[in-house]
């Protein structure tokens, strides 16, 4: 069985407050809501914001360039297929003028992607 002294000793150790651990930084006595990052923090935030805007603009330019290159390649492939295959002797080019019939199964004006941006 547990003795009274060991229980008392455990209670004393349990209720005793530990000594505070030393910290590397002194405790701040002022209002913590008045502490700001200052000019260096503003400059760092401004730098990150400007860098982000430049990266997004560059990404948009590259994506647009890839999209237009793909559109041009599709147009060239369609023209080559038309010249090589079925439309060698025909006067009307359904891809170039955008008018087709449902019987031929080619694209109408609504399905053809624009060659230039509308905005």
Reported as a single tens digit per residue, the pLDDT across 90-111 is 455 555 555 544 455 555 556 6
DSSP 40-92: HHHHHHHHHHHHHHHHHHHHHHHHHHHHHHHHHHHHHHHHHHHHHTTTSS-S-
Given the structure tokens 């503003």, which residue do they identify? Answer: 42
State the pLDDT at residue 60.
95
For the full predicted model, state whether its pTM sits above 0.75: no
Reported as a single tens digit per residue, the pLDDT across 36-81 is 888 999 999 999 999 999 999 999 999 999 999 999 999 999 999 9
Reference 97, options 76, 87, 119, 112; nearest CA is 112
For residue 6, pLDDT beyond 60: yes
């Amino acid at each position: 069985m547990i003795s009274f002294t060991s229980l008392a000793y455990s209670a004393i150790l349990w209720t005793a407050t530990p000594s505070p651990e030393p910290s590397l930084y002194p405790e701040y006595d002022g209002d913590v809501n008045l502490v700001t990052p200052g000019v260096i923090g503003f400059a760092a935030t401004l730098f990150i914001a400007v860098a982000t805007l430049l990266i997004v603009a560059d990404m948009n330019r590259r994506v647009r360039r890839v999209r237009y290159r793909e559109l041009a390649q599709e147009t060239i492939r369609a023209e080559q297929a038309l010249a090589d295959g079925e439309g060698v002797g025909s006067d009307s080019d359904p891809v170039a003028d955008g008018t087709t019939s449902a019987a031929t199964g080619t694209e109408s004006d609504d399905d053809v992607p624009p060659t230039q941006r509308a905005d």
